[in-house]
């Protein structure tokens, strides 16, 4: 299958020009051969993921997290990444979490998605829902709130958006101490990995490669 046709489907869904200025989306390695026969979809390109690609006879890796520097030992395989452009896209990374949790998005706020609930839920109910995708979540509730009518979501490291939107709870990853200490909202840190682990499945769905695609086995570095 033509690798440029595959990539076009991703870029139609999540245009490269929508990535952040600091990001490195697109081709990491673009080898001479146009056709690829098997693709490994991954969250992050690591030595283990590259080894999985070779073991499965994959000649291309499509990842969410890009490599800002490509090691020499990776240069025998095509590498393509869709990162902040996929986060920003309609139906992208954050929207996928919301769908997996059974919520319905109310509106987009760039990287942040807002869910307005018809029937409010308790903080404990939301915690239980989030534990389905993250067993090691942390949360803060400095004001002792309980009723949740609105939730902000941002996959990955979205701590910078906390308290910028009038929502009762905010769900993201990579929550830092002082951000947690100062927050006036209920904030759930489900982990960077857990908030984005559905990205490989999403990329495979976008590219419609069927049996040509393999999902990498990955786990959080945190135990």
* pLDDT tens-digit profile, the chain (223 residues): 999 999 999 999 999 999 999 999 999 999 999 999 999 999 999 999 999 999 999 999 999 999 999 999 999 999 999 999 999 999 999 999 999 999 999 999 999 999 999 999 999 999 999 999 998 899 999 999 999 999 999 999 999 999 899 999 999 999 999 999 999 999 999 999 999 999 999 999 999 999 999 999 999 999 8
For residues 104 and 123, state if they share a domain: yes
pLDDT for 40: 98
For residues 101 and 62, state if they share a domain: no
pLDDT for 223: 81
Alpha carbons 92 and 47: distance in angstroms, whole number: 26
For residues 182 and 124, state if they share a domain: yes
- Give Cα separations from 126 to 57, 95, 103, 187, 201 (angstroms): 41, 17, 11, 11, 24
Q: Is residue 222 part of a domain?
A: no
Task: Evaluate whether 78 touches 36 at the Cβ level (below 8 Å).
Answer: yes
For residues 115 and 41, state if they share a domain: no
Burial 129-150 (b: 16+ CB within 10 A, else e): bbeebbeebebbeeeeeeebeb
Our count of domains for the chain comes to: 2
Look at residues 202, 199, 174, 179 and name the one whose alpha carbon lies nearest to residue 189: 174
For residues 65 and 24, state if they share a domain: yes
Alpha carbons 43 and 203: distance in angstroms, whole number: 10
pLDDT for 136: 87
**Residue 144 CB contacts under 8 Å (≥ 6 apart), including other chains:** none
Alpha carbons 27 and 215: distance in angstroms, whole number: 19
């Amino acid at each position: 299958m033509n690798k440029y046709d595959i990539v076009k489907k991703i870029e139609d869904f999540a245009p490269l020009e929508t990535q952040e200025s600091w990001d490195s989306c697109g081709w990491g390695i673009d080898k001479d051969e146009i056709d690829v026969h098997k693709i490994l979809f991954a969250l992050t390109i690591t030595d283990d993921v590259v080894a999985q690609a070779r073991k499965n006879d994959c000649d291309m890796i499509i990842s969410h997290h890009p490599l800002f520097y490509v090691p020499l030992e990776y240069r025998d395989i095509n590498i393509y990444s869709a990162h902040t452009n996929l986060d920003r896209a309609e139906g992208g990374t954050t929207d996928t979490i919301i769908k997996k949790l059974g919520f319905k998005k109310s509106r987009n706020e760039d990287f942040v998605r807002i869910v307005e609930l018809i029937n409010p839920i308790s903080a404990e109910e939301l915690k239980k829902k989030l534990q389905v995708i993250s067993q090691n979540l942390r949360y803060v509730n400095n004001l002792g709130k309980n009723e949740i009518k609105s939730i902000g979501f941002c996959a990955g490291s979205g701590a910078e958006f906390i308290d910028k939107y009038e929502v009762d709870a905010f769900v993201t990853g990579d929550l830092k101490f002082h951000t947690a200490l100062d927050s006036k909202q209920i904030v759930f840190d489900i982990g960077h990995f857990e908030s984005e682990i559905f990205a490989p499945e999403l990329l495979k769905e976008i590219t419609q490669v069927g049996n040509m695609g393999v999902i990498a086995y990955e786990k959080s570095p945190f135990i």
